[in-house]
Amino acid sequence: MISKLVKLFLTERKGVKKMANVLCDHCGSSRELSYRLSSRTSGEGSDSIHGVLTCRKCGQKTIFGMTEDAISFYPSKTAYGALSVNTPQDVKDIFADAELCFYGMGFRGAAAVSRACVEAGLSHKGITQGNLEQRIDEAKGKDILTETEYMLAHGSRLAGNAALHRATIIAPSDIPAVLSAVVGITNHLFQ
Q: Which of 73, 96, 117 is the last residue of a domain?
A: 73
Q: Tell me: the pLDDT tens digits for 107-158? A: 899 999 999 999 999 999 999 999 999 999 999 999 999 999 999 999 999 9
- Same domain assignment for residues 103 and 20: no
> How far does Cα 165 stand from its chain's mean position?
19
* Alpha carbon distance 47, 52 (integer Å): 17
Greater confidence (10 vs 191) lies with 191
Rounded to 10°, the helix 147-165/132-141 angle is 180
d(CA 76, CA 61): 8
Under 8 Å CB-to-CB from 89, ≥6 apart: which residues? Answer: none
> How many CB atoms are closer than 10 A to CB 190?
17
Q: Does the global pTM surpass 0.75?
A: no
Domain enclosing residue 13, as ranges: 2-73
Q: What digits encode the pLDDT tens for the residues 2-27?
A: 333 344 344 444 555 554 456 676 67
Which residues, other chains included, contact 182 with Cβ-Cβ below 8 Å and sequence gap of 6+? 95, 98, 114, 117, 118, 156
Q: Do 41 and 114 share a domain, yes or no?
A: no
> How far is the C-alpha of 125 from the C-alpha of 186, rounded, in Å?
11
* Longest CA span, the chain: 59
pLDDT at 20: 47
CATH number of 132's domain: 1.20.120
Q: Tell me, what's the pLDDT at 76? A: 58
Q: What is the pLDDT of residue 72?
A: 67
Q: In the structure, what pLDDT confidence band is assigned to residue 175 with cuts at 50, 70 and 90?
A: confident
Residue 167, pLDDT score:
67
Among the candidates 54, 73, 92, a domain finishes at 73
In the chain, the amino acid numbered 66 is M
Last residue of a domain, one of 18, 44, 73: 73
Number of domains in the chain: 2
Answer yes or no: are the C-beta atoms of 47 and 19 closer than 8 Å: no
Q: What is the pLDDT of residues 21-61, one digit of tens each?
A: 566 766 777 655 455 544 455 444 456 666 666 777 777 76
Burial status of residue 180 (CB atoms within 10 A of its CB: 0-12, 13-18, 19 or more): middle
Phi, psi of 174 (to 5 degrees): -80, -25
